[in-house]
Amino acid sequence: MFLETVWTWVLPIGLGLVLGLLISMRKNHDFSQIILLKPEDFRLNMRKGQLIDIRSHEAFEAKRINGSRNFEKMLLFASLHKIRKDQAIFLVDESNNLHVKKVSKKLIKKGYHPVYVLETGIEKYPFSLKEEN
């Protein structure tokens, strides 16, 4: 009877302590290093880092910012070995939507920072684009 009473207290307290320890050890990520840039600022600074277009290969071939590399959203994380951690990342997508935000957060979690995102996406990019002939 005494052992049953002890286990009804010890087990929940022990599990709570272990769970609290695991939660406190979780790595906190600084998502403030995801910066939305207006097209003008993006254009002025994009040569200071890696310009990555996360649209589909077909959309990338049709039109793109000169100097950008294409890593489709779903394949980007399989190709992280091709991206340098010591340089800023400039992300381009069709529009500033949920996909580019998720990709940005995952890149920060993987240790890539800062991450700059083209605020308007490529569909409203006012500067010249390289188009397929």
Kindly list the domain boundaries of the chain, sorted by start residue.
31-131
46-103 pLDDT, tens digit each: 999 999 999 999 999 999 999 999 999 888 999 999 999 999 999 999 987 788 989 9
Instruction: Decide: helix, strand or coil at residue 13.
Output: helix
> What CATH architecture does domain 31-131 belong to?
3-Layer(aba) Sandwich (3.40)
Average pLDDT over residues 116-130: 93
Question: pTM value?
Answer: 0.77
Phi, psi dihedrals of residue 83, rounded to the nearest 5°? -115, 135
**Nearest by Cα to 60 from 9, 130, 2:** 130
